[in-house]
């Protein structure tokens, strides 16, 4: 089958781009015709390598078209409640609409809320239309959730990255006739040998953002250093918390044991320098870095936060799950693995074996099965009566919805001025 992924900007760096590339390549390896359609492009090359069997094409090249008059006008179809709305325009609306009108893909996949909305409103009814959720429903602001609840019934399926979020979608969104399934992110097998568990290094990776709670990790590591001063903690990533975290490190005298390493891409070679991975987030939509670390043979000490870690880590088997926000529990789990090299190695081997289920091959097979079942069940133009009714409803409703969402920011602004 021919499958098209519609993505914000395939030329950037980020988890959605990485997992879309992985899935597209996995599907191409299974003999499907796969393309990635990037709404925006801002540079020559992609940040990640892409299999030549996957076609990549941009719709708006910002290097040449950022000053186009149409690009100066705000988007009216792409959801105004999507936080990327300011990057979209009448030009992107038109290019996406043109693509959806002319594509011959049997399956169309949106990869963010605003694009899922455009796919639902303007996607061809002869194709299966799938909206991916790369974050979680509850992380979206309420206006966006309400907007999605109105529009998503026009899709054929929604995929989430965890079973827990799929359950939330089914319970809260109530989308009759729309299939909601969990489809995890995929991580390819590392090109480097697995770690041997002897390096006295704990590694964490991710955005330096409040939700990651690296301040807790640093304080927990202070307890580790008190017992094992020869161990170090390396935190990879960039973000607005860097200066604050540096102050925490310095104020606790940990400048010889805790290091802010900055961004590293690819990260594989950095995982290979450690023996344990640590995640102290208050929330994880999935946990790509958890799977990456496990695939390299590192056991992961993680908070049992919603939603991803408890679905990935088997506590006591391939890592440890501890109560979120509990510095003592984090330190205790780290020390358990640091004190016992045999346990560390045993959990590392289990981590590598268990994380193989996230290989692009099995995930692509699961995705393929979903698409085939949707086509067989009468989606993608095979149920003419259902699609004709949906088309008529969508045509009438999409105009009203575009106008309504376009007015909402102005209404909110008026209320704020009056207040």
The pairing of beta strand 128-132 with beta strand 107-110: parallel
User: Would you say residue 16 lies in a domain?
Assistant: yes
Tens-place pLDDT, residues 282-334: 999 999 999 999 999 999 999 999 899 999 999 999 999 999 999 999 999 99
Q: Does residue 24 sit in the same domain as residue 62?
A: yes
Instruction: Tell me: pLDDT of 199 over 60.
Output: yes
Give Rg (Cα) of the chain. 23
User: Would you say residue 193 lies in a domain?
Assistant: no
User: Would you say residue 196 lies in a domain?
Assistant: no
User: Would you say residue 191 lies in a domain?
Assistant: no
User: Would you say residue 253 lies in a domain?
Assistant: yes
Q: Does residue 29 sit in the same domain as residue 102?
A: yes
Q: Which pLDDT score is estimated for 384?
A: 37
Query: Structural domain of residue 214, as residue ranges?
Result: 201-358
Q: Does residue 114 sit in the same domain as residue 225?
A: no
Q: Does residue 270 sit in the same domain as residue 351?
A: yes
The C-alpha atoms of residue 38 and residue 40 are separated, in whole angstroms, by 5
Check: CB of residue 334 under 8 Å from CB of residue 301.
yes
User: Would you say residue 257 lies in a domain?
Assistant: yes
Angle CA 286–291–297, to nearest 5: 160
Residue 348, burial from CB neighbour count under 10 angstroms (0-12, 13-18, 19+): buried
User: Would you say residue 192 lies in a domain?
Assistant: no
Q: Which of 358, 373, 396 corresponds to the end of one domain? A: 358
User: Would you say residue 125 lies in a domain?
Assistant: yes
Q: Which pLDDT score is estimated for 381?
A: 56
Instruction: Tell me: pLDDT of 383 over 60.
Output: no
User: Please, what's the largest Cα pairwise distance for the chain?
Assistant: 70
The C-alpha atoms of residue 42 and residue 284 are separated, in whole angstroms, by 29
Tens-place pLDDT, residues 204-235: 999 999 999 999 999 999 999 999 999 999 99
Closest Cα to residue 322, out of 334, 312, 340?
334
Q: Does residue 231 sit in the same domain as residue 122?
A: no
Q: Which of 306, 332, 358 corresponds to the end of one domain? A: 358
Q: Does residue 292 sit in the same domain as residue 154?
A: no
Share of the chain above pLDDT 90, in %: 86
Kindly compute the dihedral angle of the four CA atoms of residues 265, 211, 118, 146, in this order, to the nearest 10 degrees: 170
Angle CA 346–352–353, to nearest 5: 90
- Rounded to two decimals, what is the model's pTM? 0.85
The C-alpha atoms of residue 11 and residue 160 are separated, in whole angstroms, by 23
The C-alpha atoms of residue 338 and residue 323 are separated, in whole angstroms, by 19
Q: How many domains does the chain have?
A: 2
Tens-place pLDDT, residues 102-124: 999 999 999 999 999 999 999 99
Q: Which of 339, 358, 377 corresponds to the end of one domain? A: 358
Q: Does residue 150 sit in the same domain as residue 101?
A: yes
For 11-42, b/e burial (b = at least 16 CB within 10 A) is bbebbbbbbbbbbbbbbbeeebbbbbbbbbbe
Residue 306 belongs to domain with CATH number: 3.40.50.2000
Q: Name 232's bridge partners.
A: 201
Q: Does residue 266 sit in the same domain as residue 412?
A: no
Query: What mean pLDDT do residues 146-156 have?
Result: 97
Cβ-based neighbour number of residue 49 at 10 Å? 10
Q: Does residue 344 sit in the same domain as residue 222?
A: yes
Q: Does residue 97 sit in the same domain as residue 130?
A: yes
Q: Does residue 334 sit in the same domain as residue 393?
A: no
Q: Does residue 213 sit in the same domain as residue 157?
A: no
Instruction: Tell me: pLDDT of 70 over 70.
Output: yes
């Amino acid at each position: 089958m021919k499958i098209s992924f519609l993505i914000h900007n395939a030329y950037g760096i980020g988890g959605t781009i990485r997992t879309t590339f992985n899935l597209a390549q996995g599907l191409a390896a299974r003999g499907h015709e796969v393309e990635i359609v990037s709404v925006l492009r801002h540079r020559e090359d992609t940040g990640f390598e892409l299999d030549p069997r996957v076609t990549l094409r941009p719709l708006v090249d910002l290097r040449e078209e950022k000053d186009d008059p149409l690009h100066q006008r705000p988007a009216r179809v792409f959801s105004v409640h999507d936080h990327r709305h300011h990057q979209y325009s009448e030009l992107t609306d038109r290019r996406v609409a043109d693509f959806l009108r002319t594509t011959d893909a049997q399956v169309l996949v949106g990869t963010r809320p605003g694009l899922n909305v455009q796919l639902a409103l303007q996607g061809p009814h002869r194709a299966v239309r799938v909206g991916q959720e790369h974050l979680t429903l509850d992380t979206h602001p309420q206006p966006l959730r309400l907007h999605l609840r109105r529009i998503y019934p026009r899709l054929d399926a929604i995929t989430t990255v965890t079973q827990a979020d799929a359950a939330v979608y089914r319970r809260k969104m109530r989308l009759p006739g729309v299939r909601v399934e969990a489809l995890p992110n995929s991580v390819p097998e590392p090109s480097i040998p697995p770690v041997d568990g002897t390096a006295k290094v704990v590694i964490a990776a991710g955005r330096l953002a409040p939700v990651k709670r690296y301040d807790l990790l640093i304080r927990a590591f202070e307890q580790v250093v008190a017992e094992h001063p020869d161990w170090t903690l390396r935190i990879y990533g960039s973000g607005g918390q860097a200066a604050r975290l540096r102050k925490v490190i310095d104020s606790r005298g940990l400048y010889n044991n805790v290091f802010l390493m900055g961004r590293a891409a690819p990260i594989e070679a950095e995982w290979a320098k450690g023996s344990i991975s640590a995640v102290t987030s208050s929330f994880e939509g999935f946990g790509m870095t958890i799977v990456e670390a496990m695939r390299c043979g590192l056991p992961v000490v993680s908070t049992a936060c919603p939603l991803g870690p408890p679905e990935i880590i088997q506590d006591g088997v391939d890592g440890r799950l501890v109560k979120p926000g509990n510095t003592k529990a984090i330190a205790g789990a780290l020390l358990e693995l640091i004190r016992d090299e045999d346990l560390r190695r045993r959990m590392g081997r289990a981590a590598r074996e268990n994380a193989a289920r996230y290989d692009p091959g099995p995930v692509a097979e699961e995705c393929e099965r979903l698409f085939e079942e949707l086509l067989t069940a009468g989606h993608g133009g095979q149920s003419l009566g259902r699609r004709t009714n949906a088309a008529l409803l969508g045509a009438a409703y999409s105009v009203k919805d575009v106008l309504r969402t376009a007015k909402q920011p102005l209404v909110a602004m008026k209320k704020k001025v009056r207040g």
